[in-house]
Amino acid sequence: MPGDALSQDPAELRRRIDSSKAHPARVYDVFLGGKDHYPADLAAAAAGLAANPRGYLDVRHNRDFLRRAVTALAREDGIRQFLDIGTGLPTAENVHQIAQRIAPESRVVYVDNDPVVLAHARALLTSGPEGRTDYIDADLKSPARILEQAAGTLDLSRPVALCLVAILHFVEDEEAYPIVRELMDALPAGSRLVLSHLTEDLNPENIRAVQRTYTERGFTFVLRSRKDVERFFTETGLEPAEPGVVPVHHWRPDHAAPVPEQPEASYLAELDDIEKVRYKDINDVTDADINVYGGLGVKG
């Protein structure tokens, strides 16, 4: 059953878009080399890059963590249902593409509340004939609504992998921990939590500079310690899978991060620094580059 958001009037979607203010999903799109953003988003991303010139590695390695986690869940753990909240704009590769390549019958529900993401939702809804994909227009802060609508596509009596990837640092403590508890409490034994989160533990000077550029633009931006990230697992009774909560580039590395095709050198030379990011090879990452923890938990 398709999500109610897909039937919304295009004029209403346009009315909801505020292109004058940066939005996290669209800033993320800039760093991933997408084209679905506005000047305010480009300016926010450029300011973040100026504050931390290798900050694109956080975004790209966060995305590569998601690739490896979904691959492990589908291939090794037999998970066939995924609930991806805060999915952002379509980008290669999306959760359903990864999961359905391994298990074509996989079902995936995406959740986001950015109308630009919603306008591109049909690009996400290209499931293979054996599986199913849906999109819900909802806010992470409305877990009951998310669960109610997700039940139209997912069987919530069977294990579900809940993906909260690079979203919880936009939510304050008093809401973040109860939201994760409510979501995981509704899922059965055998379900998983895939989570990544920005931190100041690893390279504090770099990430605090980035934090300043985004809070100046009105973003909530909470940097949590490893212990605080682990709380999302321990307070929901989850057993962390190996290797635990670690910097994302150390979470089961397979050294298979995609390498972007390179343009002509003359073309590359004409681009601004933020425009060059899409062509960067992220395989030269070091521990001094990463400010994101990632982990996977299992509900017993």
Cα(163)–Cα(177) distance, integer angstroms: 15
Span 119-150, pLDDT tens digits: 777 766 778 888 999 999 999 999 999 999 99
- Contact between residue 293 and residue 61 where contact means Cβ atoms under 8 Å apart: no
* Tokens representing residue 227 in the block: 């212990």
Q: What is the pLDDT of residue 1?
A: 38
Residue 5: the pLDDT is 45
Is-contact 251 285, C-beta < 8 A? no
φ, ψ of residue 148 to 5 degrees: the values are -60, -45
Q: Report the percentage of the chain scoring pLDDT > 90.
A: 68
**Single pTM value for the model:** 0.91
pLDDT, the chain, mean: 91
Residue at token pair 């704009």: 89
pLDDT digits (tens, 9 = 90+) for 165-200: 999 999 999 999 999 999 999 999 999 999 999 999
